[in-house]
Chain A
Amino acid sequence: EPEVTQTPSHQVTQMGQEVILRCVPISNHLYFYWYRQILGQKVEFLVSFYNNEISEKSEIFDDQFSVERPDGSNFTLKIRSTKLEDSAMYFCASSDPGILVSGANVLTFGAGSRLTVL
């Protein structure tokens, strides 16, 4: 079954360092997303990406964050200068409105990248 893959599974970084989290969405999907989940809290939307541009972003997604689809397969989230409060699990997801699962445009999530900022 097609899946969304994320690397690294866990990254530890020092405050102020740049971090890039990588995702390989399902190959024929058109929409890409990043969500985050701070430990013990709800999953929060960060950004959605379609047709090589951001289609929607939350207030969390400030100038410290950026996304890129550098080639036909990868989708990356960059945090320029990490803060302690960026420590979280980051989930990549993809979807294709033209492909319905149980009648729905379902987001398929990756297993997540755990970011720890020290």
Chain B
Amino acid sequence: AQKITQTQPGMFVQEKEAVTLDCTYDTSDQSYGLFWYKQPSSGEMIFLIYQGSYDEQNATEGRYSLNFQKARKSANLVISASQLGDSAMYFCAMREGYGNKLVFGAGTILRVKS
């Protein structure tokens, strides 16, 4: 079974609008962490935001927020006020237990239109 599922291969959003990128996960661990990384066309992987399984509040980092619904095992990334520079591939990833390995989803390509 897939550990991380990103069902949207590609998304378009108008500049200045908000967009939600979906991520569902599968784990039997009680302790886990969920990450979002951005991969622009240049290829590097840039950390955006983190949500711990025990965190009661949704994580926020500037224009990024994570809509964490534990019972539904979803950790959707919300980007507010989209900018052209947000055009990139976005990966959801999970760390299970207290290990350090990340398991990545297939990614969502986001294109911001002017």
Contacts and interface: CB of A to CB of B under 8 A. Distances in A.
Nearest to B101: A45
B42 interface: yes
A103 B52 contact: yes
Contacts of B35: 104, 106
Given A45-B102, A109-B45, A111-B43, 17 more contacts: A42-B105, A42-B106, A43-B45, A48-B100, A48-B101, A102-B61, A103-B50, A103-B52, A104-B33, A104-B50, A105-B33, A106-B47, A107-B47, A107-B102, A108-B47, A109-B47, A111-B44
A112 B44 contact: yes
Contacts of B102: 35, 45, 107
Counting chain B residues whose Cβ lies within 8 A of the other chain, the interface size class is: 20 to 34
Among A41, A48, A102, chain B packs the most CB atoms within 10 A around the CB of A102
Interface string B85-106: 0000001010100011111111
Contacts of A18: none
Interface in A30-46: 31, 33, 35, 41-45
A95 interface: yes
Given A42-B107, A43-B91, A111-B42, A102 B49 contact: yes
A89 B105 CA distance: 16
A110 B33 CA distance: 21
B59 interface: yes
Counting chain A residues whose Cβ lies within 8 A of the other chain, the interface size class is: 20 to 34
> Chain A: interface secondary structure?
strand
Contacts of A31: 100
B42 to A, nearest CB: 7
For the complex of A and B, the 8 pairs showing the least CB-CB separation, nearest first, are A104-B50, A109-B45, A43-B104, A111-B44, A42-B106, A112-B43, A102-B50, A42-B104
A39 B37 CA distance: 17
20 contacts: A33-B100, A35-B102, A42-B105, A42-B107, A43-B45, A44-B104, A48-B100, A50-B100, A56-B100, A56-B101, A91-B45, A97-B100, A105-B33, A105-B95, A106-B47, A106-B50, A109-B37, A109-B46, A109-B47, A112-B45
